[in-house]
Each structure stands twice: as C-alpha cells, then as structure tokens.
Structure 1
C-alpha cells in the first residue's frame, strides 16, 4: 500500500505526456524543461513501482499499466477540478472552446445569448484544434467536430449534443463566374481549388458524389490543375470570398456569406460528409448557465 499519494503536478504531467507521447512536446505545453517533465514521470513510476511508458529513440508509448492508469487519472483530476469549481468558480462565467471555422455561425447566437443573459460572461477561446480534454484544459464546455456515428462513443464522461450535420458544396466569390449556367466540368477543372485538409478529403468526397450524380465513371473524377492549401476551413473560405479560387464549404457555415452576397454555391449540388459539430460538456458538471447556453445554440 502507498504511504503517500502522488502530487497533482506529477499526475497532470503524466496525462499531458500520455497525450503527446513526447517529453519535449509535453514540456512545451507544461511550460517546463524536458528534463523536469522526465523527472516527474520517473518519480511517479518509482512511487507506483511500475513503468508507465516505454522509452523509444523517437518518442514514447504507454505500457499496459500506463494505458490502464490513464483514464483513472483523467477521471480523478476531472472530478477534483469540478469539485474546486463547485466551491470557488464564478458560476456567471462560462469558458467555451470552439474551432475557429465555426465563429461566424456562433457569434450571432452568442450575442443573442449575452443580450438575453447579461449577467453571464462567456469567455470564448478560438482554436484550430477540434477536440477538447477537460482534464488538462480549463474549459467548461466546447464545440467539437467529429464523426456522427462515433463521436458520442469516445468518452463515457462527456455529453455530446449535435448542433448541425456537415453538408459540403463548392463555394466561390460571385466575381469569378458571370453566369451560373456556365458551370460544367471544363469550368471547374480550370479553377484554383482551395483545400482546407492536407489530404484534400473534402474535395475528393464531393467530386466522387458529383461524378455519381452526373453518371460518370469513378475514373473520370476531376483532378484540380491549380491547388492552394490552407490550415483551416475558415482560411480557405476566406480566400474564396476574396476571389482567389473555389473552396469546399459547409452549407450551414457558408449561409451568412451567401446571404450577404460574398459567396455563391455555383454547382447546386451538396454531399453529407457523415460528420458534424457538437456541443460538448462533462457529464459530472451541473451548471444551469451552461444548460441555457446549450439550449440557445441548439435552437
């Protein structure tokens, strides 16, 4: 039996290192030196009397005991954090993490919520990361992106509420096309294709569905002759708004810019990606203000 418990700093270092599987990357997140993180993990292993990581030349991997220990530590730290928040946290503040591509959809709803609930302060953090770890990140709720079938099965400690399903279609500035009737294979293949994913997955998905709609064989799927890559969906769509090419956009997220005349959807054909955007919150958290915010976003 252990005569003393490990420190929360050591447990937190273990969780972050398990996420990164690299001491240097974990040190950057923890604002510590690589050596300090390595010593914390070694100290924890010595206290427990087990190895938590396999050390490799190019990184780390969890041992079977480390894999078993990780969800227990995450649950414990999460419970401790929410216990502290229950006592000391200002219930009028909601810390919300969201992917940057959704801010144009979110802001009008958030402003409406703030007008209806002026006593509640929503602190918004925008990121290109579509996931959240409530154990290691200081957020009350988040908006995440993932597969419709598997998103809700990823963590038993989280609640996932679907905000909207992703439906993809090409979008571009009205200035790059004079007549929507001109849209055809020959027009599309000579445009600059703006990509928001390294594997061009959004374009590939839409093109395959479009080829089926046009009753073309799969080998006839177009290949873009001019391509430009971006790190996020909002960057690729912003480039489309400025007339630099044509992007694959989500119909819900693109709707405000289409209504303002900044974008058009020239092909009038869309495809469901099987993914969507979810409001995510810990199951153990009881906060009526978050319930009210969630209700606003779901409507």
Structure 2
C-alpha cells in the first residue's frame, strides 16, 4: 500500500513538473539545450515537448516493469499468487473506473453510456449487484422494459438488492397497467422493509383505488408504527378510511356493520361530521 502510494506520488509529481516545463517552452518559443559531458544538443520547442512526453511514458513503463519484477521476485520466493495479483490489480482498477463512469453517466442522464460502461465493468469485475442495478435503471430510462425487468429479476436472489429489485418490478408493472401484480409486489417489499415510506404510500394508494378499506387501514397503521405519521394525523386519516368502509358496508346491505364502523370513525375523529351523521 505504501509502495503504491509512493509510486503514484512520484509519478504525478514528475508529470506536473514536466507539463509545466512543456507549457513554458511552447509559450515562450525557447529551445531546450541538453549538455551531457562534452556533447551539447539543442532542440526546438516542439521537439522538446515531444521529448518530455516520451520521458513521461518511459517513466510510466519503468514503474510498471518495476512492479512486475517485484511480483516476479515474490513469486520466485514462494508467493504463488503474486503475479496474478499484479495483473488483477490492473484489471480491478479498470473495472472500478468503468463502474464509476457508469454511475456518473446514469446520474447525468446518459443511460446509453451507462449501459456500455456497466457492461465493461461487469467483464472486468464479474457480475455484481451494482452493475445489474445500473443496467436495470439505465434500461428503464431508455424504455426497454424487457431488459429492465430481466435485470431487476436478477437482483432478487441477493438479500442486499431484493427490496430495490421488487420496487423496480413494481414500477414496471405499473407502466404496463398491471396494478394487481404491482400491489402484490409492493406488499412483498413492505414485508421485507416495513419502514419504506415510498412503498407504503404506493400500497396505500392502490388499496384505496380498489376500495380495500381494511387493507388500507392496516397499511396506515404500519406507517404509524414505523414512526412515519403523527398520531393525530393517523387518527384523522383512519377515521376517513373507517367511514369509507362503513359506506361500503351500508351499500352492501350490512347495516349493523356500517353503524359499527361509523361509530369507530366518530370515536377516532369526533369532529368528522359525515361519520356522526352515518352513525345516527
């Protein structure tokens, strides 16, 4: 670790110094005079810059060769994985660079580049939840539902990514108009993570649209238990849901059940006039 840091520091320092020298020569049009013993060579600004670039490349190559020789020496001394680690570090660095590019591209709204860089990262680093997630979200942004759904399904097998995978599949089903499947998936996501406010709100919305008043009340109670809803707000909203359930019971001819639910709604929120009227 220390040796790698030292090499990087030396290399960057040389590059900075030589770059400043190259810029100076180009700006001032001065020649570079090199004296070695009794030999003197004068080169023009462009040739000097090219020579500096060649020197930088040479230093970089020498550092790589030195690293390989160190790995080879360790291998000869009995470290059987020294050489594979040397090449593996380079591969890993390229993979991490590609992964970083993919994340930046996705955040910048360039899903096509994100897909390309994520594919390269996967080739270099192997399949991972991060690359699959980038692929899923990039495909989703491009409107490629089949690819996005396949990528989200691939994430279901990992405990760390299962919730985000289910949420992604919920969005896919909603886009397809399959709200029944979306609701079942969202409820499954809540089983895995009960304090997910976004999923709770989605489940509540879908339950209300289906007039599943009991289910909606359970979801509302879950929001209260998760600390995502003040108790006074919970009581008012629960009273409204309870009143809606009472109206549904009344329309179904269950007068006694309707009165019971209306009484509960009135108890939860005494100033909720419709519940008091229905109870009477």
Q: TM-score, normalised by structure 1?
A: 0.25
Please identify which structure carries the higher helix content. Answer: 2
Q: TM-score, normalised by structure 2?
A: 0.26
Please identify which structure carries the higher strand content. Answer: 1
Bigger Rg, structure 1 or 2: 2
